[in-house]
Amino acid sequence: MPANNILVVDDEIGIRELLSEILKDEGYSVRVAENAAVARAARREARPDLVLLDIWMPDMDGISLLKEWAQSGQLTMPVVMMSGHGTIESAIEATRIGAFDFLEKPISLPKLVATVGKALAGGRVLAKPGLSFAHLGRAKVITELRQRLDQVSRLRMPLLLTGENGCGFELIARMVHLRNTPWFAPADHAWLALNPFAPLAEARDGVLFVEDIERLTRNEQRGLSQLITKLEKFNVRLVAATSHPLIPMIEAGEFDSNLHAQLSGITLRIPSIREHAEDIPDLANTMLLQMVEANESPLRSFSVGALNALRNLEWPGNLPVLQNAVKTLALTSLSAEITTDDVGRVAVELGLNIAAGDMPMGGIPFDLPLREARERFEYQYFLHHIRHEEGNMSRVADKVGLERTHLYRKLKQLGIRPSGKTE
């Protein structure tokens, strides 16, 4: 079995050499980097099994590099932060971003060996593709949501998340969960009626996440209400989520008003990805990179036009639908670069529409030659009408004012494949 590969990142040569020698004596393969730039290049070249990352470095600090890896989808290995001037705030920030653990210098040999072993044992889980809150983006609505989460993260009272299906409730809930503390997310709600206090011991000092609370039966609602009264005793933070407005359910007698009062002391609405469409290109790139790194896709990349086309689509179902589209594009593209044509083809197949209110010219640079700009506009124009008419080419022809034969000729010229649905 090949030795685990560890990347040691520290600007002090003495510490790099000492850690490298110790780890090699323990049977590990070790690479070293003296700064963030070298570490970034090493990470691009090959995914290490573990990174030991110093916080204080001259060019870019370790927290910023950790955040960069998280936002670009490259945090698919455990990272242990190191610092000789460690603070509780630094440790908490690092673990929220995704660090596995935190070592304070000078690092004792037993502590180093034990932490490395523990991190590598958990590394297989961390290496699985998946999004974190850091991947959601940098748009204003996401930045403000992150700030609000920071404000309420240390409180222990229940947190209620609202929003559309697929907007990332679990990613948000994990933002208030500290690594190395319990995370309990039951697969169903039946336990709430049978034994509502059952998970409290297991979730002690951690987070209990209950999703789809709008689906709770009356008995399950009663059980959740009883559980809330015991949270403080076990130091458990409850995070509940719903994609359905609860007030109309209360008015219809379908949801208990007292339970709503218990849950809604702190309520945060999670924006749909349509509300931060500028982040969709980065999200798509992250999803694609994670698929490639997990050997779930051949080597692929998006063209700029393809990313613009993704940004201009509606995404009902939000993150899971975007994930499915990226997966389909990665596995069905005929070239290493995913093109605008690929996005158009998959958009039709998945029934995705151009976002309401967006001009079809969105994403078309004004410095293009007239002919190329016209072709791009026509591509989006005809694709919009095919989606709007659900692939019915007779109605599309009427809508755009072309004879059917002329329409088919135009679509072929633009590289758009009609669905073949006609009347």
Is the Cβ–Cβ distance between 327 and 294 less than 8 Å?
Answer: no
What whole-number distance in Å separates Cα of residue 413 and Cα of residue 375?
Answer: 9
Dihedral class, residue 338 (left if φ above 0, else alpha if ψ from -120 to 50, else beta): beta
Residue 37, pLDDT score: 92
In sequence order, the β-bridge partners of residue 327 are none
Residue 125, pLDDT score: 44
Is the Cβ–Cβ distance between 48 and 22 less than 8 Å?
Answer: no
The residues, any chain, with a CB within 8 Å of residue 23's CB and separated by 6 or more, are 6, 8, 30, 116
- Joined together, the tokens standing for residue 121 give 């044992």
Tell me if residue 233 falls in helix, strand or coil.
Answer: helix
Is the Cβ–Cβ distance between 164 and 243 less than 8 Å?
Answer: yes
What whole-number distance in Å separates Cα of residue 271 and Cα of residue 267?
Answer: 13
Which residue intervals of the chain bear CATH 1.10.8.60?
Answer: 275-414
Beta strands, E only, 317-373 = 337-338
Which residue intervals of the chain bear CATH 3.40.50.2300?
Answer: 5-128
Is the Cβ–Cβ distance between 78 and 125 less than 8 Å?
Answer: no
Which candidate, 238, 252, 278, 37, places its Cα nearest to that of 136? 278
Sheet holding 5-9, edge to edge: 29-33, 5-9, 50-54, 79-83, 101-104
Transcribe 245-268 into DSSP letters: -HHHHHHTTSS-HHHHHHHTTEEE
What whole-number distance in Å separates Cα of residue 272 and Cα of residue 319?
Answer: 9
- Joined together, the tokens standing for residue 64 give 């910023």
Right CATH number for 5-128 from 3.30.465.10, 3.40.50.2300, 1.20.1290.10, 1.10.10.10?
3.40.50.2300
Residue 250, pLDDT score: 96
What whole-number distance in Å separates Cα of residue 271 and Cα of residue 283?
Answer: 15
Taking only the tens place, the pLDDT of each residue in 163-200 is: 999 999 999 998 888 766 899 999 899 999 999 999 99
What whole-number distance in Å separates Cα of residue 50 and Cα of residue 7?
Answer: 6
| Model confidence at 50: pLDDT above 80 | yes
Question: CB atoms < 10 A from the CB of 308, how many?
Answer: 20
Residue 366, pLDDT score: 58
- Joined together, the tokens standing for residue 410 give 């135009």
In sequence order, the β-bridge partners of residue 337 are 301
Cα Rg of the chain, angstroms: 25
| Model confidence at 420: pLDDT above 70 | no
The 8-class DSSP code of residue 12 comes to -
Residue range 360-371: mean pLDDT, rounded: 59
Taking only the tens place, the pLDDT of each residue in 197-206 is: 999 988 999 9
- Which amino acid belongs to residue 349? E
Percent of the chain at pLDDT exceeding 90: 57
Is the Cβ–Cβ distance between 269 and 121 less than 8 Å?
Answer: no
- Joined together, the tokens standing for residue 79 give 């990272």
Dihedral class, residue 340 (left if φ above 0, else alpha if ψ from -120 to 50, else beta): alpha
- Joined together, the tokens standing for residue 301 give 């990349």
Task: Give whole-number Cα distances, 67 to 62, 70, 74, 147, in Å.
Answer: 8, 5, 10, 16
pLDDT band at 421 (very low <50, low <70, confident <90, very high): very low
Q: Identify the residue with better confidence: 28 or 91.
A: 28
Residue range 254-271: mean pLDDT, rounded: 97
Question: CB atoms < 10 A from the CB of 155, how many?
Answer: 12
Residue 416, pLDDT score: 81
- What is the architecture, at CATH level 2, of domain 136-271? 3-Layer(aba) Sandwich (3.40)
Residue range 332-360: mean pLDDT, rounded: 81
On whether the 275-414 domain is CATH 1.10.8.60, my answer is yes
